[in-house]
Structure 1
Amino acid sequence: MNRKTGFQLVALSLSIASALLIAPTISYATEQGEQRREAREIRQEGRQGARETKAECRAGDEKTRPECRQEKRETKQDAREKGREIKY
């Protein structure tokens, strides 16, 4: 075996080994990305829901502004918790 063929064999072996080590990492990263996207969507939906909750609360006139703000915060916090459950 000459030097050039030996070098090519070593390079091919290293390439295959690298591919085998990287492949699981790529699928795990893809899975994490999907979880982050799902969590982000839930948080965004929660924000919109919180806005609607506050608007309905203020339109009803049965609660004070601070009480309506607190309802909005609680709605957003619930969405954050759901997002965390997905991610972790």
Structure 2
Amino acid sequence: MKKSVLMLLTVSTLMTAIPVQATQQATERRDARDIRQDTRQDSRQAKQDCRQGVFGNADCRQDHRENKQDGRDAARDVKY
């Protein structure tokens, strides 16, 4: 009898802990996705501004890549 009560208590505890963890992970994923989306928009705008300047297209592409990579790194920091 005691063993079944203990198992029931353990199962109910685990069932309440799993949704909290899943919700936290979903929030972290959403935050990371938002950072990446904002980075993409900022990077596109920076690339357009660069193309209108005196820089070559290769320099603009490199800046665009670096901006996106920085955004990915920031998203990883939030997520992990």
How high is the TM-score relative to the length of structure 1?
A: 0.78
Aligned to 1:36: 29
1:66 and 2:58 aligned: yes
Between the aligned partners of 1:24 and 1:15, the Cα distance in structure 2 is 14
Shift of residue 21, structure 1, vs aligned partner: 1.2
Question: Which stretches in structure 2 are left out of the alignment for 5+ residues?
Answer: none
Q: Number of matched residues?
A: 77
Choose between structure 1 and 2 for higher RCO, CA contacts under 8 A separated by at least 6 residues.
2
Aligned to 2:44: 51
Between the aligned partners of 1:84 and 1:27, the Cα distance in structure 2 is 21
RMSD: 1.6
Structure 1 stretches of 4+ moved >6 Å: none
Question: Which stretches in structure 1 are left out of the alignment for 5+ residues?
Answer: 1-9
1:82 and 2:70 aligned: no
How high is the TM-score relative to the length of structure 2?
A: 0.86
Shift of residue 19, structure 1, vs aligned partner: 2.4
User: Percent identity, aligned pairs only?
Assistant: 39
Larger Rg, first or second structure (1 or 2): 1
Shift of residue 31, structure 1, vs aligned partner: 0.3
